Amino acid sequence: MSELTATVHSTTNGFKVTGNEEINYAFQFVDNIFDPAHTNLAEIYKKWTRVLLVTDSNVNELYSAKWNAYFAHHDIKVTTFVMNGGEKNKTMTTMLSIVDAMNAFGIIRKEPVLVVGGGLCTDVTGYACASYRRTTNFIRVPTTLIGLIDAAVSIKVGINHGALKNRLGAYHAPLITFLDFNMLKTLPEGQVRNGFAELMKITSCADKYSWDLLVKHGPALIKSRFGRLEESDAELKKAADEITYRGIKVMLDLESPNLHEIRLDRVIAFGHSLSPTLELAPTIPLRHGHAINVDMAFFVTLACSRGILSVERRDEYHALSYAVGLSMDHELFTPELIQEGTEAILKTRDGKQRFAVPTKAYGECVFLNDVSYDEFNTVLGAHKKLMHEKYGGGAGKEAYVDYGDLGMDPALLLQQGVQKVKDIVSPLINGKGHHSPSRTKQTSRLVEPIQA
């Protein structure tokens, strides 16, 4: 939630308004938030005696019985709006359907919408709330690992537009976010792995203590849903809770001084330089965690070749990725894609590369601004060789999006892809074609080294 106050000054030929935005939002860890014994949500909603709850269809199926019983117990009438999940549905149409639900419900000033779901659902609902009457309160209960340690930590909300991810959005802080890690009990392993990659990012660059815990417990953390499955042992749960608590704290410490992302040297950009281009390159997109880990594993190899990381530390990163089944290379991760990705990222980073890479024995990071395409290509050759020699080629487990991530059957994309390939190839065969420059072979050239 934010408050804007400003004062007016007269100038020689007009006025100037100067003000500050005060922002207040909290996070509370509550296991089993819908246990009737926990009054956190009931305390907030009892004054309205009702709640508009937005969720996606999977989460609705898994948890609606729990929240219905919870609100019934507290005499609060719940109205649920169920959106379809998946990136295909992260659209203006879905956002407007939530706006319509708010209208139909007759949400009144200050009454907060409750969103229960993964990062996608909290992003779209948050954007609907940012737009509705210019600003409407909301409360988040994230249900995925990405939601808990990443999406719901930030105040960014938004939707995709056309082929552009998160192109429309806003900065809109919720009143409060309730963090219930028991939601992970039902989360498929592939989704936990996605979140694990984000934790590798943040810890390798900013929290050595947690990095070491990830190295120690990697595969067990994923299998046990971060210690939340019943059979998990106490040490594992303790380690998982420490990692997630510290991960959220580090993210808040790093990002809070820069909530509107004005400063562009951002630690959390590690893994997010070339991956946006790679993620969408295959006909069936890579899962986010796999795309960012290819990016990170490659930059770790690069950091080692520059002497920023030792061989031992490089191998530690790669061995952990391998153990938890995260991708470290892809056949479409080529010199051409690296060039395409670098050019795209220079546009969003004000002309500088700002490649974050971990340094020392992890826990700190440096920014590189002088990587040439010749260096990229040499390191790429070495990286692919290393992947083949030690890590079975560097392919991860369940690396591609599924129905849940996409909101449609990925096989349909393959069918459409075949059609697209035909569309491109047949005119070329006829000699009158035009094909996209983005995937053509390009000779290596230097990215202008820019001083930090």
Ligand X SMILES: NC(=O)c1ccc[n+]([C@@H]2O[C@H](COP(=O)([O-])OP(=O)(O)OC[C@H]3O[C@@H](n4cnc5c(N)ncnc54)[C@H](O)[C@@H]3O)[C@@H](O)[C@H]2O)c1
Q: Report 66-95 residues binding ligand X (CB under 6 A).
A: 85, 90
Residue of 139, 320, 373, 306 lying closest to 214 (CA atoms): 320
x/- site string to ligand X, residues 124 to 143, per CB under 6 A? -------------------x
**Residue 360: partners with Cβ closer than 8 Å, 6 or more residues away:** none
Among 404, 424, 438, 439, binds ligand X (CB under 6 A): 404
Angle at 141 between CA 138 and CA 143, to 5 degrees: 140
How many other C-beta atoms are found inside a 10 Å radius of the C-beta of residue 415? 11
Told to check if 321 binds ligand X by CB under 6 A, we report no
Minimal distance in Å, beta carbon 30 to ligand X?
A: 15
Q: How many CB atoms lie within 10 A of CB 81?
A: 20
Q: Is 287 in the site for ligand X (CB under 6 A)?
A: no
- Of 146 and 297, the one with the shorter C-beta distance to ligand X is 146
Residue 42, Cβ density class (10 Å: 0-12 exposed, 13-18 middle, ≥19 buried):
middle
User: By CB under 6 A, how many residues form the interface with ligand X?
Assistant: 28
Q: State the nearest-atom distance from the C-beta of 18 to ligand X, in Å.
A: 29
Q: How far apart are CA 109 and CA 136, in angstroms?
A: 7
Q: How far is CA 332 from the centre of its chain?
A: 22
Out of 119, 276, 282, 363, the only residue in the binding site for ligand X (CB under 6 A) is 119
| Whether the Cβ atoms of residue 53 and residue 111 lie closer than 8 Å to each other | no
In angstroms, rounded to a whole number, what is the distance separating the alpha carbons of residues 56 and 80?
10
Residue nearest to ligand X (CB): 118
Residue 335 is a binding residue for ligand X (CB under 6 A): no
Residue 197 binds ligand X, judged by CB under 6 A:
no
Query: Could you say which of 33, 45, 54, 56 contacts ligand X (CB under 6 A)?
Result: 56
The DSSP call for residue 182 is G
Which member of 1, 62, 170, 346 binds ligand X (CB under 6 A)?
Answer: 62
- Give min distance, CB of 343 to ligand X, in A: 22
Residues that bind ligand X (CB under 6 A): 56, 58-59, 62, 85, 90, 117-121, 123, 143-144, 146-147, 150-151, 154, 156, 166, 183, 186-187, 191, 194, 404-405
